[in-house]
Amino acid sequence: MEVTHATFTLERRYPVPVPRVFEAWASAEARGRWMAQGAEYSQDFAVGGLETVRGFDGEGRPLTHEARYAEIVADERILTTSTLRTGDVLSTVSVTSVEFSADGTGTLVVLTEHGMYLPGQERPEWREQGTAHQLDTLAAEFARSTGTDRAPGES
């Protein structure tokens, strides 16, 4: 089997200004809440800094996601390189961009990920689905905090 290469792009509109959405990525407390969703989380939000999520898959095997910040431009973009391991086995290597732009009084986030998926490990559709779920969890947080009844991902 060969390495699978795949790219996906997700867009979400949030009903809050760009600085507030950017802060949800920059704050370890906020990001751990919506991104790690109960897993062990740590973050050094600086160029060269490391974000780590440790949890377990559906079979109880340990999972470790590590992302290194390659570029951070406040309220504009975040670029990372990352790995996912199941135990000591490398599953994926990826490069991700997250771009923030004003959309009326809200924010448009465009996340693009280029991944290399190793044989017998994670699949591109699983990563896209998991990432979409994280972005929807963030949307639900903003909807609750702004008192709107919007469904996750709706503008």
pLDDT tens for each residue of 30-83: 999 899 988 999 999 999 999 999 999 888 999 999 999 999 999 999 999 999
Distances (CA, A) of 14 to 83, 110, 141: 28, 11, 10
What pLDDT, on a 0 to 100 scale, did the predictor assign at position 153? 42
Q: Residue 145 in contact with residue 19, Cβ under 8 Å?
A: no
What pLDDT, on a 0 to 100 scale, did the predictor assign at position 144? 66
- CATH number for region 4-146: 3.30.530.20
Instruction: Output the furthest CA–CA distance in the chain (Å, rounded).
Output: 49
Helix, strand and coil in the chain, % to nearest 5:
25, 45, 30
**Stretch among 21-35, 107-121, 133-147 having the lowest mean pLDDT:** 133-147
Instruction: Summarize pLDDT for 21-30 with one digit per residue, the tens.
Output: 999 999 999 9
Residues for the chain: how many in total?
Answer: 155
User: Average pLDDT for residues 14-24, to the nearest whole number?
Assistant: 96
Percentage, residues of the chain above pLDDT 70: 92
